[in-house]
Amino acid sequence: MTGPAARILLSLGLMLAGTAAASAADIKLMTTGAFRPVAQDVIPAFEKQTGNKVAIVSDTAGALIRRLRAGETFDVIVLTSDGLDALADVGTVTGDSITPLARVGIGVAVSLNAPQPDIYSVEAFRQTLLKARRIAYMDPATGSTSGNALVQIFQALGISSEVSRKAVLVRSGPAGEAVARGDADLALQQASELRLVPTVRFAGLLPDAIQVYTTYSGAISAVTHEQEASTALLAALSDPGLAPVLKRRGLEAP
């Protein structure tokens, strides 16, 4: 096609492309480390389908709360369900947007060439901790969900003092990296974060009797300027079809 008709079609195509580019949104997603692997799996397809761009900010639950109190802004946030309820109470997120996404338990990781640790009963797990040379887990002072849960577990097992003497406290990132470096025999953390380290072996979850599961939910900022795009992102993160992704990443449906 040539002539005026071709020029009209070309101009129309450029106008449509410009409209699509103008409507694309930049979204900021704040998420705990436990859910970050799932977000990283979902977002590339979301960006391709919608044209929106998502920037991920990941930290411990406690650190995210501190960042919000300091004035940091976001569009969508993934946090513990209790944490989001508190944010809804003060108007930081819209309460009716809170959507359960996944739950995850605490697991154990060892080096690739280490024997399988006995973690199949409470007493066996207790003895495994007592025999370990060094144990890596998240520093509770960071506000880590798993770190604070483990402190309670150690107390319940009556071995807080013994574990504290051999603790390798991790302030950010997967605790499994301490095992990979040879700084610890065992790493204890939420399963989804332990599975991020390919140079360690995920040995399994804590025994059911002492296991602590955490449910993570997503919510939309009460002051977001990208309401439509944020709603679409939260829908993508909560898609029931993500069950295989959750399982592969060490989480499960809420």
In a domain, 253, yes or no: no
In a domain, 160, yes or no: yes
Same domain as 118, residue 73: no
| The predicted structure's pLDDT at residue 97 | 97
Q: What CATH code is carried by the domain that includes residue 153?
A: 3.40.190.10
Distance CA 86, CA 103 (A): 19
DSSP letter (8 states) at residue 140: G
Task: Calculate helix-pair angle for 61-69, 81-89, nearest 10 degrees.
Answer: 10
Number of structural domains in the chain: 2
SS3 173: coil
| The predicted structure's pLDDT at residue 153 | 98
Burial string for 34-63 (b: 16+ CB within 10 Å, else e) reads: bbbbbbeebbeebbeebebebeeebbbbbb
In a domain, 210, yes or no: no
| The predicted structure's pLDDT at residue 87 | 95
Specify the DSSP element, H or E, that contains 37. helix 36-50
Same domain as 161, residue 112: yes
In a domain, 158, yes or no: yes
Same domain as 235, residue 201: no
* DSSP notation for 174-231: -THHHHHTTS-SEEEEEHHHHTT-TTEEEEEEPPTTT---EEEEEEEBTT-S-HHHHH
Q: What is the pLDDT along the chain (254 residues), one digit of tens a residue?
A: 445 444 434 443 444 444 444 478 999 999 998 999 999 999 999 999 999 999 999 998 889 999 999 999 999 999 998 899 999 999 999 999 999 999 999 999 999 999 999 999 999 999 999 999 999 999 999 989 999 999 999 999 999 999 999 999 999 889 999 999 999 999 999 999 999 999 999 999 999 999 999 999 999 999 999 999 999 999 999 999 999 999 999 999 98
How is residue 97 written in tokens? 């947007």
Same domain as 121, residue 165: yes
- For residue 143, what are the domain limits? 106-205
Same domain as 155, residue 96: no
- Among the listed residues 67, 8, 57, 62, the one whose alpha carbon sits nearest the alpha carbon of residue 35: 57
Distance CA 35, CA 33 (A): 6
Same domain as 66, residue 8: yes
